[in-house]
């Protein structure tokens, strides 16, 4: 099934189309934050502290007089970057390990998969927290922690897919014609196992964004004053009762982003499912 057919199948679902439009809108707003945001994200107006939503401040101000709408736009840029970059790193590393383990087998498979199982024995959130606490706060360390916690799922999926493909007739034919192992992996194994990996990646971005927000909430993510949705929620904890809008808008931003990504992942999975063609 080609890319055009997949897009046409996904376009038949109104829910998927709406999710795609909402996600593109979120990405557009965050990418244009420098233009759209009415105030700098670190600008403090101490005469307008803890102001509710108004025309001047559409989402209100926080305890330091900073515009929440501006901070959400700039924070979305950080959250999306962490989600996509960290998941891409975990997906690439996990896929390579899984393909090597599944294709070559033997002691290499044993060593790689036992290490992966050790990582999978630790809950993903706990693993990310442990990594972030060990490495320290910061953008790079947060992305590394989320990437390592994402690696095991891709490694197992890639290995299982490789085991089902490596004994196919076209792989045997390529081997009989003298193709090298790297050539077979690049030309025959990877292209034929990409569909489930792409679906896993689409579904995993939302989880990565949630995990990054959790690290920010615990103070293990991006260092202030750089805004990030999770750290914004953490800063607003003490004001929830009297100023609920401080947690409402960052929470809605996380919720909308994760839900739209999950719906897109479900739509992509259905489009690639041969049983539904």
Q: What is the pTM of this model?
A: 0.83
Per-residue pLDDT tens digits for 211-260: 888 888 888 877 777 888 888 888 888 888 888 889 999 999 999 999 99
Number of compact structural domains in the chain = 1
Nearest to 99 by CA among 11, 182, 204: 182
- pLDDT-based confidence at residue 1 (cuts at 50, 70, 90): low
Is 98 in contact with 162 (CB distance < 8 Å)? yes
Tell me what percent of the residues of the chain surpass a pLDDT of 70.
Answer: 96
Length of the chain, please?
Answer: 277
Per-residue pLDDT tens digits for 154-180: 999 999 989 888 888 888 888 888 888
Q: At what angle do helices 245-272 and 14-31 cross, to 10 degrees?
A: 130
State CA 101 to chain mean position distance: 25
- The SS3 call for residue 67 is strand
Tell me what percent of the residues of the chain surpass a pLDDT of 90.
Answer: 16
Phi-psi region of 219 (alpha: psi -120 to 50; beta: other; left: phi over 0): left
Structural domain including 246 reads: 3-276
Q: How far is it, in rounded angstroms, from Cα 129 to Cα 131? A: 5
């Amino acid at each position: 099934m080609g890319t055009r057919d997949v897009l046409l199948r996904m376009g038949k679902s109104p829910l998927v189309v709406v999710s795609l439009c909402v996600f593109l809108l979120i990405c557009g707003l965050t990418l244009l934050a420098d233009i759209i945001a009415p105030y700098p994200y670190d600008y403090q107006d101490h005469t307008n502290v803890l102001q509710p939503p108004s025309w001047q401040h559409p989402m209100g101000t926080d305890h330091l007089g900073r515009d929440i709408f501006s901070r959400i736009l700039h924070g979305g840029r950080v959250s999306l970057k962490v989600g996509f970059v960290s998941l891409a790193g975990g997906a690439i590393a996990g896929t390579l390990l899984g393909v090597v383990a599944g294709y070559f087998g033997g002691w290499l498979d044993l060593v790689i998969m036992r290490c992966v199982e050790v990582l999978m024995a630790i809950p993903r959130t706990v693993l990310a927290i442990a990594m972030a606490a060990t490495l320290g706060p910061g953008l790079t360390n947060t992305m590394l922690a989320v990437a390592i916690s994402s690696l095991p799922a891709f490694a197992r999926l890639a290995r299982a897919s490789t085991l089902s493909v490596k004994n196919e007739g076209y792989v045997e034919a390529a081997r009989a014609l003298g193709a090298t192992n790297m050539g077979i992996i690049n030309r025959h194994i990877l292209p034929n196992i990409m569909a489930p990996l792409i679906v896993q990646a689409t579904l995993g971005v939302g989880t990565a964004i949630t995990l990054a927000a959790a690290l920010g909430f615990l103070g293990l993510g991006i260092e202030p004053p750089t805004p990030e949705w999770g750290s914004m929620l953490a800063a607003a904890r003490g004001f929830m009762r009297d100023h609920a809008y401080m947690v409402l808008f960052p929470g809605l931003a996380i919720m909308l982003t994760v839900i739209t990504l999950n719906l897109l992942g479900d739509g992509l999975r259905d489009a690639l499912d041969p049983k539904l063609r």
